[in-house]
Structure 1
Amino acid sequence: MDKIDGVCESSGGDFVDLEMPLIRPERRSWSMEMVDMRIKNAIRTLCAAAMLALFGVVGTTGTASAAASTVYYVEFHGAQGKLDTNPGNGYESWIWAWNPNDYDMYIEWQYYGASGDKPSDYLHISPYGGTTGGNDTEDIWRIRLCYTSYDLQGYSHKYCSSWT
């Protein structure tokens, strides 16, 4: 019998496969200790990256703490509003609002020194994804979102979120 690439030819002319064991590299099994060690290493790496990011942010903003901005958010009936008390663009305040509803809404605000529930001013927010916003030369200290509903007798009723 002649051996040809792992196949033998018998005297009858038939070819017969030889059963040759496959030689494979040793396979490592994952023990729980290895898994725990890899998880711990991943956590250490993430913590180190987070600390670097934190110290990098603190280091860059620490010198500008006097100009730190306070941002307030409000959400009411799906609409969203935002107030930035120091936008860094030369204005005292910046407001923005978005309305996904099928009815008009308003973003109202009060300037510092205002009291009670009466807004100092407001902006209309169109329905169906309307947005509005702008800068203000005065300091705004709080915002809220409102809408007006009408009953069957035609009387209007104003509904508002809490002040931020």
Structure 2
Amino acid sequence: MPKAKREPHLVSEKTSDLLRREEKARAGGGVERLAAQKAQGKLTARERLGLLLDDDSFEELGLLVEKRSSDFGLGERYLPADGVVTGLGRVNGRGVCVFSQDFTVMGGSLGLAHAKKICNILDLALESGVPVIGLCDSGGARIQEG
């Protein structure tokens, strides 16, 4: 069987695209919403995790997860990480699973993908035998998703 031809420029484009998507997702709800969060004296979801977890211990899961619904005007809206940061880290050297709701993305409201990310982190914690720490900053359920 012939080997697939590698085209370095395509790999480079795909890698660049992935890095751009990750950077955009890490920016949360955008400059204006982040400024509003700061004006209220609140930390962002990522800042809260940064203070909680040991340095350089956070491994994010689900960064590029996006909303599932397109009803009620959600179709064109970009909701980074669906409003919740999830992952693994360490607190005083002990492994933990964490989630931190991002109020800058639709008020941290809980949609289907958001809830699934939290359920996945709870399942991982149960399987791994580590505690879960949830940092909640949410307006509640996302009614647009039913």
TM-score, normalising length: structure 2: 0.26
* Structure number with higher relative contact order (C-alpha < 8 Å, ≥ 6 residues apart): 2
Which structure dedicates a bigger proportion of its chain to strand?
1
TM-score, normalising length: structure 1: 0.24
Between Structure 1 and Structure 2, whose CA radius of gyration is higher? 1
